[in-house]
Amino acid sequence: MLASRLFFALFWVSTASVAAEPDVARQKELVHLVRQDCGSCHGMTLQGGLGPALLPADLRDKPVEGLAATIYYGRPGTAMPPWKQFMSEAEANWIVQKLMSGFPQ
């Protein structure tokens, strides 16, 4: 029962992320945004700056939803602003997945 629910949940997550995959042109824009604009605090190579490093090893133990929410809504009390005017929640999710698996150049 639990196993089938888990299977269902996994299935749902994977279809959702496939459905949310931005098109190629938009992916290019998002990569540019992350490298150049997120890069002003996190470093263009994402090794950190005023903001923390965002390399796969740094994010490994963090939940995807939490990271996506940090991008989308920001984190009050820190220098991290909300980026929701620049992207959808699905796109924030896509960015997190790419960050966790090694971000494109």
Joined tokens for residue 11 = 């299935």
Confirm or reject binding of residue 22 to other proteins (CB under 8 A): no
- Binds other proteins by CB under 8 A, chosen from 30, 34, 39, 87: 39
Closer of 4 and 105 to other proteins (Cβ):
105
Smallest separation (angstroms) from other proteins to the CB of 53? 9
Closer of 17 and 41 to other proteins (Cβ):
41
Contacts (CB under 8 A) with other proteins, residues 44-103:
44-45, 47-50, 74, 79, 81-83, 85-86
How far apart are the C-alpha atoms of 47 and 94, rounded to whole Å? 19
- Binds other proteins by CB under 8 A, chosen from 20, 41, 64, 69: 41
- Confirm if 47 and 55 have CB atoms less than 8 A apart: yes
